[in-house]
């Protein structure tokens, strides 16, 4: 009987989150849950957004949470640029489209749900760094803070490397990157599309076997 109780308890704990909730509202149902853990477990990359503009106060809070991330030596070798201009986003999209003409990348623009190259988000946060051994880690932690803060405020996000890489590699990207006005020696590393979500993606499976306790 005792073994049965233990097995039931382990079963409940390993379920992690209650699975009878919509993907975006999953709640933890073991004893070790709180709002932070629920936010972590409920965050998903969102690639469909409402056109509703985001209140600037919310963006302010999200980026402030970003700069409170842990970073090596507290050197803060990072910069943040927030683009809310639909004109900028549309022009960047048109430039990327033109650069992709005749290449396999062109196909993505024919998707009927396609709105822009930032996975359809109405605003984009660019994170740049002064490259050194630790700064990509710093920027990743910053992005993580921002995405969780956004989720906790009812916003969706998607972290993206490809639009930044496209602009760094294509001549057409230079003027857009320049317009972000990163300081001398800094360059963009990644960006985060952000907005009110218009989809509730299910969690992608995670491989728990990567975790091992060393005895
Ligand atoms: C460094 C980094 C770069 C990424 N680049 C892209 C990207 O260019 N385009 C995209 O749609 N998603 C991108 N993603 C999102 C991942 O595809 C996504 O996080 C992953 O599939 C797990 O899904 P989840 O975020 O919903 O848990 C990126 C994520 C990270 C952390």
Tokens 């972000």 locate to 180
Percent of the chain having pLDDT more than 90? 77
Give 158 Cα–ligand 1 centroid separation in angstroms.
6
Q: Let me know whether 65 and 26 are in one domain.
A: no
> Over 80: is that where the pLDDT of 19 sits?
no
pLDDT of residue 20: 55
Banded model confidence at residue 14, pLDDT cuts 50, 70, 90: very low
Q: Let me know whether 27 and 119 are in one domain.
A: no
Q: Let me know whether 88 and 162 are in one domain.
A: yes
User: If we measure between CA atoms, which residue out of 102, 112, 108, 103 comes closest to residue 160?
Assistant: 108
Which CATH number belongs to the domain containing residue 65 in this structure?
3.40.109.10
Give 159 Cα–ligand 1 centroid separation in angstroms.
5
- Number of domains comprising the chain: 2
Alpha helices in the chain (DSSP H): 2-15, 35-42, 56-67, 86-100, 135-152, 162-169, 174-179
CA dihedral of residues 38, 40, 45, 46 (deg, nearest 10): 40
206 occurs within a structural domain: no
The response to whether residue 24 sits with its C-beta less than 6 Å from ligand 1 reads no
Q: Let me know whether 139 and 69 are in one domain.
A: yes
How far is it, in rounded angstroms, from Cα 173 to Cα 170? 5
The response to whether residue 204 sits with its C-beta less than 6 Å from ligand 1 reads yes
Residues 87 and 179: beta-carbon distance below 8 Å: no
- Output the residue whose Cα is nearest ligand 1's atom 23: 45
Q: What is the mean pLDDT of residues 123-140?
A: 98
208 occurs within a structural domain: no
pLDDT of residue 154: 98
Tokens 């233990």 locate to 6
Taking the alpha carbons of 54, 58, 62, 67 in that order, is the dihedral positive or negative? positive
The per-residue pLDDT of the chain, averaged, comes to: 90
pLDDT of residue 214: 97
The response to whether residue 159 sits with its C-beta less than 6 Å from ligand 1 reads yes
Q: Let me know whether 166 and 92 are in one domain.
A: yes
The response to whether residue 190 sits with its C-beta less than 6 Å from ligand 1 reads yes
Span 166-195, pLDDT tens digits: 999 988 899 999 999 999 999 999 999 999
pLDDT of residue 7: 45
Q: What is the mean pLDDT of residues 60-80?
A: 98
Q: What is the mean pLDDT of residues 133-155?
A: 98
Range of the structural domain that residue 157 is part of: 56-195
Work out the widest C-alpha separation in the chain, in whole angstroms.
70
pLDDT of residue 175: 92
The response to whether residue 158 sits with its C-beta less than 6 Å from ligand 1 reads yes
The response to whether residue 44 sits with its C-beta less than 6 Å from ligand 1 reads yes
List C-alpha distances in Å: 29 to 14, 44, 63.
10, 19, 30
Span 52-62, pLDDT tens digits: 999 999 999 99
28 occurs within a structural domain: yes
Q: Let me know whether 6 and 97 are in one domain.
A: no
DSSP assignments along 102-159, one per residue: TSGGGGGGGSTT---TTTT-SEEEEEEE--SSSHHHHHHHHHHHHHHHHHHTT-EEEE
> Over 70: is that where the pLDDT of 108 sits?
yes
> Over 50: is that where the pLDDT of 6 sits?
no
Q: What is the mean pLDDT of residues 153-169?
A: 95
Span 21-59, pLDDT tens digits: 555 555 676 888 999 999 999 999 999 999 999 999 999
Query: What is the pairing mode between strands 78-83 and 156-160?
Result: unpaired
């Amino acid at each position: 009987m005792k073994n049965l109780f233990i097995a039931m308890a382990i079963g409940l704990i390993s379920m992690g989150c209650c699975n009878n909730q919509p993907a975006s509202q999953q709640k933890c149902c073991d004893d070790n849950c709180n709002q932070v853990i629920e936010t972590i477990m409920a965050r998903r990359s969102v690639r469909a957004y409402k056109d509703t503009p985001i209140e600037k106060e919310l963006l302010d809070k999200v980026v402030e949470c970003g700069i409170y991330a842990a970073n090596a030596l507290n050197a803060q070798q990072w910069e943040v640029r927030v683009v809310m201009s639909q004109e900028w986003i549309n022009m960047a999209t048109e430039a990327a489209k033109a650069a992709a003409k005749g290449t396999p990348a062109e196909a993505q623009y024919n998707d009927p749900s396609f709105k822009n190259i930032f996975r359809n988000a109405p605003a984009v946060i660019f994170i740049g760094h002064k490259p050194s051994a630790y700064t990509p880690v710093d920027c990743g932690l910053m992005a993580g803070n921002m995405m969780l803060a956004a989720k906790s405020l009812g916003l969706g996000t998607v972290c993206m490397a490809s639009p930044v890489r496209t602009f760094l590699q294509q001549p057409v990207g230079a003027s857009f990157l320049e317009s972000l006005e990163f300081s001398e020696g800094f360059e963009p590393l990644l960006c985060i599309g952000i907005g009110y979500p218009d989809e509730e993606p299910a969690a992608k499976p995670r491989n728990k076997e990567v975790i091992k306790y060393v005895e």
